[in-house]
Chain A
């Protein structure tokens, strides 16, 4: 158990819908990272927040957005969902990115878009 929690574990929805994925980092960790894992693209970095502020952005679609709240939990919002958005979405955290960047991953949310 990494100490990172993600809800829900599974989500099934229809195209065009909007969903919110939630992540609670390990106690004391200020950095939260979101990754998407799909069969064709593998594990892709989406976005990083540090202490409430966006710190880095990866291959995140404009239909996707994220935020980190004062209690450090983070939410990833996915809108106008398409079939291709079906994937495992992981959240990871660490105290501060820094140079030695071990990240602790949550169990993931499996999103299925029908």
Chain B
């Protein structure tokens, strides 16, 4: 069953705009990760934020985590057509589980 739920399911923006995707989850976590998937291809790890962190940056990516609300957001700044992909949040669960539980993803389209 899905732990994370991304919002929105689909997002269409113009190049240069910022894209914000949200993720909510249900149980306590050790960390939350964001992955990207180009159409029908493998997942690429973008960023990991630990449960004791509130914000993390990597290049044009900014991730926030609010464990009290069990939610995270991924911001992509100055988007490019090449950012067009599906974005998934994934969580593990406290208690030693190493499997990742993925949300259904946000499909981002960046129009040139």
Interface residues of A (CB under 8 A from B): 2, 4, 31, 33, 35, 42-45, 48, 55-56, 58, 88, 90, 92, 97-108, 110
Q: A42 near B104 (CB under 8 angstroms)?
A: yes
Q: B100 near A101 (CB under 8 angstroms)?
A: yes
- Closest Cβ–Cβ distance, residue B49 to chain A (whole Å): 10
Q: A101 near B98 (CB under 8 angstroms)?
A: yes
Inter-chain contact total with CB atoms closer than 8 Å: 65
Interface residues of B (CB under 8 A from A): 2, 30-31, 33, 35, 40-45, 48, 50, 88, 92, 97-105
Q: Given that A99-B31, A105-B42, A108-B42 are known contacts, is A45 also in contact with B48, CB under 8 Å in the complex? A: no
Main secondary structure of the interface of A (DSSP, over half): strand
Q: What are 6 sample pairs from A and B whose C-beta atoms fall under 8 A apart?
A: A33-B99, A35-B102, A56-B97, A90-B43, A101-B30, A104-B45
